[in-house]
């Protein structure tokens, strides 16, 4: 694992350090570092020569954010970087593009539009690698560079608090560090999609949009006319395909553990759509098998990519509501189930697993505490042509006293999609007061059409914008994990097992008439 030393006096830089640590760029002392990253808004003075000496010792020195403009014009670091800075452009919304040498840095960057200032270069040496560019007055200029001959790099973005806090910026800095260290991504990975027609479309679109993940095989489909994607009538044949390194499992819920096991036994890495498993025993068996085969098994957390949830989670992370002590999720309407396998508790695992798993994942993601008790009740009152319950309510109590409630229903008089978080400093909500037409399987996602509402204890109400939709953060992170070796801790089987344990406890509690149960 490369080790870096981060030098900064900027408030809010801790989030960048946390990201780099999670990405495997572990922190260390300046003396033992493999690379030095500097974000500082004052002159470096006597440190300049030390940094230059380290660069000459083949230790990359990367100057980011306001560092460049804090250096004097005659700084030896400026000369060594090969980029002579000119005037600083006032802060505005930027659109980054990939430079002629920046393919590895910009991989899976997507749309990134930071509000920031940057330095317009007066001169650029011929041997400077131009990694990321911005367009200004009919020309393109580098904002991120690397000069192999001197071991110096510059990234002039990161001067505003919003950019410094942006995960997309953190990721680019991490990839810039990897580039300077000579670390390159592995080659593209062949992916096989093992899913029903109803679950394959979203995965297929996300895979095809993710650089480094090549969809090569799909079960139950005809091959593409151009021959790039093979169709397999038999799922076993897809698992055995030597060009498939990663298998995405989206079969009916009661078969997912079985197919994931077969793929792991065949030496493949595995993604399992939510619900990940129907019991903790299945989850534990998959974890043991993956470890024995040195393979990866992760959960695809479908609803974590919902814009309303992403915006709410980001606001919670900024401390907008203080310490959380209550979370409520309600989803449903008066909807006649279609009668497919999702509505049959033998194949779906029941309403709590099929419709509640992704929302339980939300609750456990928002409240980072162990769940101590689970109480659940279900009702079968109206839709007797299917075996799943019509209505379910799940109550969770966490170790710190926080509580959460999830209500799922096909018998609500009006379509409802609601997510509310109450904390010591205020409340956040994402609501759809007009109702959710049709109350479909992703009813709560309709709340993403409206902004989030923050109400603080002083009575102030703020409407928060939603993050832009686009791409699949999960598949981008998965590609980074498989191709770049970055950790995938938010999606690992240990995280999935916690949700499985709560869903299992809720199902048992409901079957026993609402008794209190602790998750396994």
C-alpha span between 305 and 135 (Å, rounded): 30
User: Between 142 and 318, whose confidence is greater?
Assistant: 142
Confidence label for 487 from pLDDT (cuts 50, 70 and 90): confident
User: Between 52 and 378, whose confidence is greater?
Assistant: 378
List Cβ neighbours of 189 (8 Å cut-off, separation of 6 or more): 212, 213, 214, 245, 246, 479, 482, 483
Q: Which two tokens stand for residue 80?
A: 């060594």
C-alpha span between 255 and 66 (Å, rounded): 54
Q: What is the pTM of this model?
A: 0.87
Which pLDDT value is given to residue 472?
77
Which pLDDT value is given to residue 23?
80
Mean pLDDT estimate for the chain: 90
DSSP 495: H
Q: What is the pLDDT of residues 100-120, one digit of tens each?
A: 999 999 999 888 899 999 999
Which is it for strands 426-431 and 371-379: parallel, antiparallel or unpaired?
unpaired
Largest CA distance in the chain: 81
Confidence label for 223 from pLDDT (cuts 50, 70 and 90): low
Question: Which of the listed ranges 60-64, 230-234, 443-447, 459-463 does the model predict with the highest average pLDDT?
Answer: 60-64
Confidence label for 426 from pLDDT (cuts 50, 70 and 90): very high
C-alpha span between 337 and 345 (Å, rounded): 13
Given a cut of 90, whether residue 376 has pLDDT beyond it is yes
Residues 419-425 have a mean pLDDT of: 96
- Residue 19 burial by Cβ neighbours in a 10 Å radius (0-12, 13-18, 19+): middle
Residues 121-128 have a mean pLDDT of: 94
Which pLDDT value is given to residue 73?
81
Residues 250-273 have a mean pLDDT of: 96
Which pLDDT value is given to residue 438?
35
CB 102 within 8 A of CB 132: yes
């Amino acid at each position: 694992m490369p080790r870096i030393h981060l030098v900064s006096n900027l408030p809010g830089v801790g989030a960048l350090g946390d990201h780099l640590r999670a990405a495997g760029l572990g922190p260390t002392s300046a003396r033992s570092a493999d690379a030095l990253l500097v974000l500082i808004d004052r002159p470096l003075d006597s440190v300049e020569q030390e940094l230059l000496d380290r660069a000459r010792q083949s230790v990359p020195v990367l100057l980011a954010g306001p560092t460049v403009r804090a250096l004097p014009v005659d700084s030896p670091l400026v000369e060594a970087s090969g980029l002579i800075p000119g005037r600083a452009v006032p802060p505005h919304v930027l659109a980054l593009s990939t430079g002629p040498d920046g393919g590895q840095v910009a991989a899976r960057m997507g749309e990134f539009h930071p509000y920031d200032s940057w330095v317009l270069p007066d001169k650029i040496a011929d041997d400077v690698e131009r990694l990321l560019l911005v367009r200004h007055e009919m020309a393109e200029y580098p904002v991120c560079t690397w000069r192999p001959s001197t071991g110096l790099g510059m990234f002039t973005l990161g001067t505003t608090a919003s950019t410094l806090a942006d995960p997309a910026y953190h990721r680019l800095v991490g990839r810039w560090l990897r580039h300077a260290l000579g670390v390159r991504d592995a080659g593209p990975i062949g992916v096989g999609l093992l899913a029903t027609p109803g679950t394959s479309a979203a995965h297929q679109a996300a895979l095809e949009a993710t650089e480094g993940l090549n969809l090569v095989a799909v079960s139950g489909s005809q091959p593409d006319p151009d021959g790039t994607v093979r169709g397999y009538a038999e799922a076993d044949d897809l698992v055995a395909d030597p060009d498939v390194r990663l298998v995405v499992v989206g079969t009916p819920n009661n078969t997912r553990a079985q197919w994931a096991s077969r793929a792991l036994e065949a030496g493949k890495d595995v993604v399992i759509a939510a619900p990940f498993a129907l019991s903790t025993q299945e989850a534990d068996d998959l974890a043991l098998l993956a470890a024995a085969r040195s393979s990866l098994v992760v959960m695809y957390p479908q609803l974590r990519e919902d814009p309303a949830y992403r915006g709410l989670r980001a606001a919670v992370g900024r401390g907008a509501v203080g310490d959380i002590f209550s979370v409520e999720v309600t989803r449903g309407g008066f909807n006649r189930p279609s009668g497919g396998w999702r509505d049959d508790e033998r194949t779906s695992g029941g309403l709590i697993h099929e419709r509640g798993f992704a929302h339980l994942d939300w609750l456990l993601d928002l409240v980072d505490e162990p769940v101590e008790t689970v109480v659940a009740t279900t009702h079968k009152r109206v839709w007797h042509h299917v075996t799943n319950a019509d209505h379910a309510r799940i109550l969770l109590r966490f170790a710190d006293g926080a509580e959460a409630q999830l209500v799922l229903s096909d018998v609500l008089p009006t379509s409802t999609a609601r997510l509310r978080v109450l904390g010591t400093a205020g409340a956040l909500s994402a609501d759809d007061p007009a109702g959710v037409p049709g109350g479909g399987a992703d009813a709560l996602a309709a709340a993403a059409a409206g902004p989030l509402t923050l109400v603080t204890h002083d009575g102030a109400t703020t409407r928060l914008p939603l993050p832009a939709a686009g791409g699949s953060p999960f598949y981008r992170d998965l590609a980074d994990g498989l191709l770049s070796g970055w950790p995938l801790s938010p999606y690992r089987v240990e995280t999935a097992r916690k949700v499985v344990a709560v869903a299992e406890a809720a199902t048992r509690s409901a079957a026993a008439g609402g008794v209190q149960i602790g998750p396994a």
